[in-house]
């Protein structure tokens, strides 16, 4: 049974609008701000390990393969769990799934700090892998529900609003590595996880207050009773256009997945960055470029003269050139003479950031 004030608010919404869209639009600016700040925090959780974790994990006996697996597990779980998040939204409502995702990310991030007290070897790596898997599941719920909530807030400007959301994603990637390196330098292994995990909880409380889960759940139940059903994933993937969008998304997100476990050691070997702080700043180059370019790419993609497809193709090409520069590729031996300069590495990171913006924003 709802408290009297909440019951009054819910009954007023049903009598005036009949669904949750009115509630979302009446809290438009607050919800957009909260969702984007939370999105920034969740993607900071994803990227915060890059500046210090590989070195610390190796000191605890982890192999390069295990470090790569810990990093990759986050994105792998998002890939697997996102369809489940969509099904949960159809049964329990978008707000419920969003809040659950934020709380799971928060608690698993706080729990990640426990790894510092565990013995070296499998106890350490096993706990880190488990917490990374749980973080990925929570992030899948949060991100999938966030896009759905934004689409309900203002359907007429959804491309622009998703461009802003991608901007907060880029900010999370940008802030995470240098923030993680700085917090690690001043407070040790536990500090980045404890601080970020605690900061996410107020967002879940605010969404719970402004968009009550029971209201969204009631709407989801009504749609289910009316006979509305989810489209099976297999039917979606049999659509050639959707399959191509999925492939483009995988390719567009591959750059950061490759860089996260490898760029720190690569930069050290080249003498470009040696401390956690400097490695974090190096990671932020692509994130800054991604963040700055997302709103402009979102607007350009909506214009009929350009459209999304040429933008996606150009973005994937830019990312491919970025890989060639950072490697460096033997194909560019005439340019680097066997070793990449700091200018090549930074140029490749710039292409990663702008290219991912071009290839991901139109897909949204």
Interval 74-99: pLDDT, tens: 878 887 888 888 788 877 778 888 88
CA dist., res. 91 & res. 97, Å (int)? 10
Confidence check: pLDDT of 15 > 90: no
Q: What is the mean pLDDT of residues 108-123?
A: 90
pLDDT at 131: 93
Q: Would you place residue 106 in the very low, low, confident or very high pLDDT band (cuts 50, 70, 90)?
A: very high
pLDDT at 23: 53
- Mean pLDDT for the chain? 76
The runs of H, that is alpha helices, within 48-157 are 53-59, 64-92, 94-112, 122-153
The 8-class DSSP code of residue 130 comes to H
Neighbours of 64 (CB within 10 A): 13
Q: Tokens standing for 56?
A: 């610390």
Confidence check: pLDDT of 6 > 70: no
The 8-class DSSP code of residue 308 comes to H
Higher pLDDT: 139 or 218? It is 139
Tell me the per-residue pLDDT of 293-326, one tens digit each, with 9 for 90 and over.
877 777 776 665 666 777 888 888 888 888 888 7
pTM, to two decimals: 0.69
For residue 270, CA distances in Å to 211, 264, 282, 320, 345 come to 50, 10, 13, 21, 10
Q: Which among 156-170, 318-332, 346-360 has the top mean pLDDT?
A: 346-360
* Phi and psi torsions of 227, nearest 5°: 95, 5
């Amino acid at each position: 049974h709802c408290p009297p004030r909440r019951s009054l608010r819910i009954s007023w919404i049903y009598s005036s609008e009949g669904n949750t869209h009115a509630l979302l639009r009446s809290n438009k600016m607050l919800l957009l701000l909260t969702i984007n700040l939370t999105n920034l925090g969740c993607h900071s959780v994803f990227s915060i390990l890059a500046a210090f974790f590989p070195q610390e994990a190796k000191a605890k006996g982890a192999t390069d393969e295990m470090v790569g697996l810990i990093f990759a597990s986050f994105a792998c779980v998002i890939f697997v769990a996102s369809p489940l998040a969509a099904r949960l939204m159809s049964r329990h409502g978008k707000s419920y799934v969003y809040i659950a995702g934020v709380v799971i990310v928060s608690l698993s991030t706080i729990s990640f700090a426990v790894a510092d007290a565990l013995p070296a070897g499998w106890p350490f790596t096993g706990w880190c892998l488990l917490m990374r898997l749980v973080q990925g599941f929570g992030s899948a719920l949060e991100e999938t529900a966030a896009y759905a909530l934004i689409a309900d807030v203002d359907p007429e400007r959804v491309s622009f609003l998703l461009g802003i959301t991608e901007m907060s994603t880029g900010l999370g990637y940008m802030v995470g590595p240098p923030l993680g390196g700085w917090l690690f330098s001043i407070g040790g292994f536990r500090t980045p996880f404890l601080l970020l995990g605690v900061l996410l909880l107020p967002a879940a409380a605010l969404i719970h207050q402004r968009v009550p889960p029971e209201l969204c759940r009631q709407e989801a139940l009504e749609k289910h009773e009316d006979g509305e059903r989810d489209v099976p994933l297999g039917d979606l993937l049999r659509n050639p256009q959707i399959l191509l969008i999925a492939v483009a998304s995988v390719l567009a997100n591959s750059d950061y997945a490759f860089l996260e476990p490898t760029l720190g050691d690569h930069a050290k070997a080249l003498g470009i960055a040696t401390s956690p702080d400097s490695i974090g700043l190096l990671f932020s180059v692509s994130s800054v470029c991604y963040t700055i370019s997302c709103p402009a790419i979102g607007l350009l993609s909506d214009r009929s003269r350009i459209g999304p497809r040429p933008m996606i193709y150009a973005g994937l090409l830019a990312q491919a050139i970025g890989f060639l520069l950072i490697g460096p590729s033997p194909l560019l031996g005439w340019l680097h003479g066997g070793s990449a300069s700091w200018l090549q590495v930074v140029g490749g990171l710039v292409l990663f950031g702008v290219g991912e913006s071009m290839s991901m924003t139109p897909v949204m």
